[in-house]
Structure 1
Amino acid sequence: MTIDTSILTDDFRALSARLGQDPLQVQGPGGNTSIKRGNTMWIKASGTELADAERQDIFVAVDRAAAVAEAREQAGDGSCKSTVLDPAISLRPSIETTFHAALDWPVVAHTHSVATLAHAISPDGRKVAIEKLDGLPFVMVPYAKPGLPLTREILAKATPQTQVFILQNHGLIGCGTDVREVSEIINEVESRLALPKTESLYKVPTMPAPAGLHWADESWMALDEAITTWLAGGSYYPDHVVFLGPGLPLADHDGTPPAILQPGVGILLRDDATSSQRAMLKCLSDLFLRLPDGWNVEAIGEAAEAELLNWDAEKYRQALAAQT
Structure 2
Amino acid sequence: MPYLASANRYDTMQYRRSGKSGLKLPAISLGLWHNFGGVDVYERGRELVLRAFDLGITHLDLANNYGPPPGSAEENFGRMLREDLRPYRDELIISTKAGYLMWPGPYGEWGSKKYLVSSLDQSLTRMGLDYVDIFYHHRPDPNTPLEETMAALDLIVRQGKALYVGLSNYKPEETREASAILKRLGTPCLIHQPSYSMLNRWIEDGLQDVLDEEGIGSIAFSPLQKGILTDRYLNGIPQDSRAAGQSVFLKPEDLTDEVLGKVAKLNAIAAERGQKLSQMAVAWILRGGRVTSALIGASKVSQIEDAVGAIANLDFSDQELADIEAILQG
Task: Calculate the TM-score normalised by the size of structure 1.
Answer: 0.26
